[in-house]
Amino acid sequence: MVISEQQLQTWSSAPSPTEMEKIKRTREIIEEALRRQLPLDEIKKAFNLSEFKYEVYLQGSYANSTNVRFDSDVDIVVQLDSVFKSDTTGLESTQKALYDSMHSTSLYLFKHFKKDVYDALLRDFGQGQVQWDKKCLNVIKNSNRVDADVVPCLQYRIYKRFLSYTDQRFVEGMRFYDTSDDTEIINYPKKHLENCESKNVDTSGKFKDLVRIYKNMRNNLIDHGHLDEKTAPSYFIENLLYNCTSPCFDGSYTDCMLKSLQFILDAIEAGRITGFICANEQDTLFSPKTWNLDDLIKFINVMANYFLGKLTL
C-alpha cells in the first residue's frame, strides 16, 4: 500500500518555531562569546594583520530549515574573511598578475585561527563545555543552548574577474582542515543555501517539503534496519532533489514522490545520474569526495519499495 498523502503531509512539516528559536539563540550565544573573548588586538599585532574580520553563520539543514530527527548537531561556521585562500586559475593572465601584485601571503594560518576560537570559547563557557574535534569544535548544550558543531574556517574564493578591489567577482566558499591528517576541505555553504532558497521559491515551497519527506522516510528505514545511517546523509538527499526538474514538484505530495523517484531511477538507468551536481553548483554529487553512487542506488531502491508498499517495516 502506498504511503498515504496525510502521512506525507505530516513528514513535510517545517521545524517548529520553538526549535528554530533555540538554534538561532545558540548561534547568538557563540557569537557573543567570541566577541568577548577573541583577543583581536593581540592577534593583529602578533601576525602583523591590518584587520581581523570574521562572521558567524549557520550552515546545513538548520540553515535551510530542512532539519528533521537524526540530523546532526547544529553546524555553526566561524569564518575568517580578512585572511582567505584563492583559486585564480580562471583569471586571464593580466588579471592574475594584477591580483598577485595586490595580495600577499599571510602569516596567520588556519591552525592559528582554530586554536584562537577554541581558546576563546573555552574561556567563556568553561572547562568541559568545549571539545576539540578533528573537523570542528563541539560545544555542549545546556539550558540556554543546543549541542553545536562550531566550524572555524578561512574564506575561500574562486575568482572569475579581478580588475581592482572594487571591481572583482568570485564564488565564495569556506576552507578548513581535518586536523587529524591535514586534509583540506572546501565547501560552499552560502552558495548552497542561496540556490536551495531559489529552488524552493521556484517550486512554491515543495522542494524543502520533499527534502523533509525523504529524510523522514530514510529515518524510518534506518530505525527498522533497512538502511545504514551512513548510506544517505541529509546533505546528499538535499543535493539529490536539487537535481530534480520542476515538474517533479507539481501536484500532491504523492505525485511529487512518484515523479521524483521515477526521475531519479530513470537517470540511473540512462547514466545521467553521474552528471548530477551539488546545490552549490561547484561540486559533482558523485565522486570520491562526495556521495558513493552505489549508496545512492541502494537508497533510492529501498525508498521506492517503501513508498510503494513493497517493503514492510
Cβ–Cβ under 8 Å, residues 53 and 82? yes
Q: For residue 22, what pLDDT is reported?
A: 87
Q: How confident is the model at residue 143 (pLDDT cuts 50, 70, 90)?
A: confident
pLDDT digits (tens, 9 = 90+) for 271-306: 999 999 999 999 999 999 999 999 999 999 999 999
Q: How confident is the model at residue 157 (pLDDT cuts 50, 70, 90)?
A: very high
- Give the separation between CA 178 and CA 6, rounded to whole angstroms: 43
Is 287 or 16 the better-scoring residue by pLDDT? 287
Residue showing cell 591580483: 99
- Give the separation between CA 46 and CA 308, rounded to whole angstroms: 63
Residue 149 has pLDDT above 70, yes or no: yes
What mean pLDDT do residues 246-255 have?
97
What mean pLDDT do residues 177-195 have?
95
- Give the separation between CA 103 and CA 27, rounded to whole angstroms: 32
Q: 110-125 vs 40-47: helix axis angle to the nearest 10?
A: 160
Q: How confident is the model at residue 307 (pLDDT cuts 50, 70, 90)?
A: very high
Residue 255 has pLDDT above 80, yes or no: yes
CB atoms within 10 A of CB 266: 11
Residue 102 has pLDDT above 70, yes or no: yes
Cβ–Cβ under 8 Å, residues 176 and 153? yes
- Give the separation between CA 146 and CA 42, rounded to whole angstroms: 31
Could you tell me where the DSSP H helices lie in 38-106?
40-47, 93-102
Residue 70 has pLDDT above 80, yes or no: no
CB atoms within 10 A of CB 215: 22
What mean pLDDT do residues 107-136 have?
97
Q: How confident is the model at residue 71 (pLDDT cuts 50, 70, 90)?
A: low
pTM for this prediction: 0.92
Q: For residue 90, what pLDDT is reported?
A: 96
- 42-77 burial, b at 16+ Cβ within 10 Å, e below that, comes to eeeeeeebeebebebbbbbbbbbbbbbeebebbbbb
Taken in order 236, 239, 244, 248, is the CA torsion positive or negative?
A: positive
Residue showing cell 538554534: 23
Taken in order 89, 55, 138, 285, is the CA torsion positive or negative?
A: negative
Q: What are phi and psi of 161, to 5 degrees?
A: -160, 140
**C-alpha grid cell for residue 5?**
498523502
* Angle at CA of residue 29, ends 23 and 30, nearest 5°: 95
- Give the separation between CA 58 and CA 28, rounded to whole angstroms: 10
Residue 72 has pLDDT above 70, yes or no: no
What mean pLDDT do residues 106-132 have?
97
Q: For residue 268, what pLDDT is reported?
A: 98
Please report, rounded to a whole number, the percentage of residues in the chain having pLDDT higher than 70.
Answer: 98
Taken in order 4, 240, 188, 167, is the CA torsion positive or negative?
A: negative
CA-wise closest residue to 285 among 298, 301, 270, 296: 296
* 1-5, 91-95, 209-213: range with lowest mean pLDDT: 1-5
Q: Averaging pLDDT over each range in 8-17, 57-66, 121-130, which range is the top one?
A: 121-130
DSSP label of 284: B
Mean pLDDT of the chain: 95
pLDDT digits (tens, 9 = 90+) for 208-243: 999 999 999 999 999 999 999 999 999 999 999 999
**Parallel/antiparallel/unpaired status of strands 74-87 and 148-164:** parallel
Q: Which residues pair with 138 in a beta bridge?
A: 131, 149
What mean pLDDT do residues 36-64 have?
94
